[in-house]
């Protein structure tokens, strides 16, 4: 099986990304997306960890990964897997989910990683077909919104943030905000621990406990998120690597392909289609 991946960037839907991919030996390491992953397995079967559990999605199943949720990805069968997926950001789903939750301004959270719903899977595939076509903006917007509404109403819950977080979790959130705001900076474990008044060892344990990744791995993820934003803004790959905090371009290329599935140059080429 030949491996390939193609991205579509839909400016008419606020920059929504659509991925078409076919993988055989590809193995995605632990990573996060700033947006949700909503996809349909079109051939073969995929295995992936989400929320600490291993899930398998065969042909016809819907896969759901929440924004900023640690997950992996690999083939569950020898023949590999083929799928299409969209990656709406929490802001994109905020409007779509407002009518389904009693709590205002709450974004959806999907407790199920794999959903078996033939009708909804078919609707998602029709949406993907439509999104690949040019023009028809009104139809795209209508189909996109109605499909998200159907998904959220059936399988989404309101994501509620506890009013009072445990002290250690609150401090981890403070560091996450710092890393997201300035991912290009070079941090030491001691610096981050001191920033929130914890010992380095205690901070390291608590950060991994609440995020699923150690601080250095989380920093790579937020750097990749910034890199994708810079590429969309027209920056070159070399400047993007430098401005995102990667030590060199080859280091950036390696991490980008492991998490996104394509090289930065392949990703950049899709922005100009």
Same domain, 183 and 136: no
Lowest mean pLDDT of 51-55, 110-114, 236-240, 259-263, name the range: 259-263
Region 131-146: what's the mean pLDDT?
Answer: 89
> Which of 196, 34, 54, 169 lies closest to 113 in space, CA to CA?
54
pLDDT greater than 50 at residue 196: yes
pLDDT, tens only, 219-257: 999 999 999 989 988 899 999 999 999 988 999 999 998
Same domain, 152 and 171: no
- 4, 40, 60, 129, 145 from 118: Cα distances, Å: 26, 10, 7, 17, 19
| CATH number, domain containing residue 59 | 2.60.120.280
Same domain, 201 and 178: yes
Same domain, 97 and 42: yes
Q: Which residues pair with 119 in a beta bridge?
A: none
Q: What is the pLDDT of residue 1?
A: 63
Same domain, 144 and 29: yes
Mean pLDDT of all residues in the chain? 90
Region 8-22: what's the mean pLDDT?
Answer: 90
Same domain, 57 and 150: yes
Q: 224: Cβ–Cβ under 8 A, 6 or more apart, which residues?
A: 31, 244, 255, 256, 259, 260
* Cα–Cα dist 127/146, whole Å: 10
pLDDT greater than 70 at residue 65: yes
Same domain, 121 and 246: no
* Cα–Cα dist 91/148, whole Å: 13
Which pairs count as long-range contacts for 171-175, CB under 8 Å and 24+ apart, including other chains? 171/196, 171/197, 171/198, 171/203, 171/206, 172/196, 172/206, 172/207, 172/210, 172/211, 173/210, 175/203, 175/207, 175/215
Residues spanned by the domain of 177? 167-271
pLDDT band at 273 (very low <50, low <70, confident <90, very high): very low
Count of the separate structural domains present in the chain? 2
Last residue of a domain, one of 158, 189, 214: 158
Q: What is the pLDDT of residue 15?
A: 87
Q: What is the pLDDT of residue 226?
A: 94
pLDDT greater than 70 at residue 163: no
| CATH number, domain containing residue 176 | 1.10.10.60
Last residue of a domain, one of 139, 158, 177: 158
Q: What is the pLDDT of residue 14?
A: 86
Region 126-136: what's the mean pLDDT?
Answer: 91
- For 96, the token pair is 């779509």
Last residue of a domain, one of 108, 127, 158: 158
Same domain, 117 and 69: yes
CB 268 within 8 A of CB 4: no
Tell me the range of 98-107, 151-160, 264-273 where mean pLDDT is highest: 151-160
Q: What is the pLDDT of residue 52?
A: 83
């Amino acid at each position: 099986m030949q491996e390939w991946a193609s991205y579509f960037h839909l400016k008419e839907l606020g920059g929504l990304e659509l991925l078409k991919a076919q993988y055989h030996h590809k193995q995605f390491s632990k990573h996060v997306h700033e947006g949700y992953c909503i996809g349909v397995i079109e051939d073969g079967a995929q295995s992936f960890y989400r929320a600490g559990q291993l899930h398998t999605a065969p042909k016809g199943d819907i896969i759901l990964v929440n924004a900023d949720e640690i997950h992996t990805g690999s083939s569950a069968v020898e023949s590999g897997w083929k799928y299409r997926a969209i990656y709406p950001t929490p802001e994109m789903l905020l409007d779509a989910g407002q009518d389904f939750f009693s709590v205002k301004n709450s974004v959806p959270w999907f407790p199920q990683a794999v959903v078996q719903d033939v009708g909804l899977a078919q609707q998602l595939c029709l949406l993907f077909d439509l999104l690949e076509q040019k023009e028809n903006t009104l139809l795209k917007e209508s189909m996109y919104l109605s499909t998200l509404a159907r998904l959220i109403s059936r399988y989404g819950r309101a994501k509620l943030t506890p009013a009072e977080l445990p002290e250690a979790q609150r401090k981890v959130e403070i560091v996450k905000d710092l890393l997201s705001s300035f991912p290009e900076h070079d941090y030491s474990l001691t610096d981050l621990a001191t920033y929130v008044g914890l010992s380095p060892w205690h901070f390291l344990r608590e950060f991994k406990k609440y995020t699923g990744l150690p601080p250095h791995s989380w920093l790579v993820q937020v750097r990749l998120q910034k890199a994708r934003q810079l590429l969309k803004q027209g920056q070159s790959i070399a400047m993007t690597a430098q401005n995102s905090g990667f030590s060199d371009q080859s280091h950036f290329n390696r991490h980008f392909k492991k998490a996104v599935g394509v090289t930065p140059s392949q990703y950049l080429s899709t922005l100009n289609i």
